[in-house]
Amino acid sequence: MATTQIRMEKPKPNVWPMRLWYLLLGVMLLVGAYGMWQTLWHGLAVTNLTDRVPWGLWITHDLSAIALGAGAFTFSAVVYLFRIKRFEPIARMAVFVGFLGYSSAMLALAMDIGRPDRFYHPLIYWNVHSVLWEITLCVILYSTVLIIEFVPIVLESRFFNGRPRARAFGHMLHKLTPVMAAVGLGLSLLHQSSLGATYGVLSGREIWFKPSMPVLFILSAVAGGVSLTLLVTIVVSKLSGRELIDKFLRRDIARLAAFALLAYLYLKMWDWAATSYYSHAPGTADALLRLQATTPYTQSFWIIEVFLGILVPVVILLNRPLRRQTGLLIFALVLVIVGVVVNRWNVTLSGLTVPPQWSPGVLGNVVATPYFPSWVEVFVSLGILAYALLVLTLGVKYLPLFRKTAVAEH
């Protein structure tokens, strides 16, 4: 049974780890399906969201998935636009991970909007003044780009062995890759930054209202997206026993992630210094004080986002003896991803839990509103995560994500 299923690879003695993995994903999918049914049937009342904190876990999921999908546009641009061919072996994996990220984000958004039946409205009713409208259009267009980049990989798989016309169509699409890389780069630069601008343009929310937001978002997205692509590649290499990328490429990608992290850190620290250290903007200072009093925002900012999410991984990624230990490298990449996710959570919740004081009195009736996701929210997020992990597993198993370069360079 086991030998027929995985004839491409070396025979594995034990099928149980994979079976347990599928079982876990199956349970997560079931739980997610239950959560989605609850949400669609009863409405968003099943969440812990309120009019004060109308965005929470799902928006964090959505922002994180898009940010962590940024490896796709980064590597597509590096390989197909700037023609730095030594990164080519990882480009397909990056596109695949990006596709999973964007499709996850769209699933999370579909659950999060109050009227999923009107999902198409941004396409027919345009408000060009809204960054969210721009993001919606960019994400839809970019998902199309990802599909065009991804379809040739599917058509190259062994399922299409007897279908030359499908293969020919795949090759034709593949020729579009450089154009798609250019379009994808433009679209990604726009919407990845605009996701930060979603918060950065809100003049009534002092803790958000700053021009650094879009740039912080895109820098962290590049760092996170590159890291996730490398992480998946290394984990798959380790599990399958195949060296999917050589140690030089591994080094170069680790460095790319580290440099993106350093650029992110540079701006992040200036952002903090300019808004909270060298200056005293009353609104921002007041909001930060109230955040400190009611949430672990300050600790999670410094400990998780900056120390664990940037400094520790940068040291590991740039230090050869440390980087060469696969376990440590995996640890560093996981930290980067956790740092990006916690950042998206912190950004979203910080501006909402401490709303601006608009009452002319002093009793402080505009109070901080705590938020913690409900079980249904957690279930839906687990389901979407399971979707991404399941498709990733199947893709790694059945798609030629790494084979192409080995064949083409002969």
Q: What does the binding site for other proteins look like in residue numbers (CB under 8 A)?
A: 42-45, 47, 49, 51-52, 54-55, 83, 112-115, 118-119, 121-122, 125-133, 135-136, 171, 174-175, 198, 201-205, 351-352, 355-356, 358-363, 365-366
The whole-angstrom separation of Cα 353 and Cα 368 is: 5
Please, which residue, 115 or 320, has the CB nearer to other proteins? 115
Min CB(49)–other proteins separation in Å: 8
100 contact partners, CB below 8 Å, separation of at least 6? 69, 388, 391, 392
How would you label 206-226 residue by residue, b for 16+ Cβ within 10 Å and e otherwise?
A: bbbbbebbbbbbbbbbbbbbb
Min CB(145)–other proteins separation in Å: 15
Please, which residue, 81 or 312, has the CB nearer to other proteins? 81
Please, which residue, 42 or 163, has the CB nearer to other proteins? 42
Please, which residue, 130 or 393, has the CB nearer to other proteins? 130
Min CB(64)–other proteins separation in Å: 18
Min CB(142)–other proteins separation in Å: 16
The whole-angstrom separation of Cα 117 and Cα 115 is: 5
Could you give the C-alpha distances from 282 to 197, 275, 288, 293, 368, in angstroms and in order?
Answer: 22, 10, 10, 16, 17
156 contact partners, CB below 8 Å, separation of at least 6? 167, 170, 399, 400, 404
Min CB(394)–other proteins separation in Å: 27
Please, which residue, 91 or 257, has the CB nearer to other proteins? 91
Please, which residue, 90 or 347, has the CB nearer to other proteins? 347
The whole-angstrom separation of Cα 14 and Cα 397 is: 16
Min CB(11)–other proteins separation in Å: 35
Q: For residues 101 and 109, is the Cβ–Cβ distance under 8 A? A: no
Please, which residue, 48 or 212, has the CB nearer to other proteins? 48
Min CB(122)–other proteins separation in Å: 5
Scan for tokens 């060009």, then name that residue: 128
2 contact partners, CB below 8 Å, separation of at least 6? 11, 12, 15
Please, which residue, 255 or 404, has the CB nearer to other proteins? 404
Min CB(128)–other proteins separation in Å: 5
Task: Report the Cα 40 to chain-centroid distance in Å.
Answer: 25
Q: At what angle do helices 212-240 and 247-272 cross, to 10 degrees?
A: 150
Q: For residues 341 and 220, is the Cβ–Cβ distance under 8 A? A: no
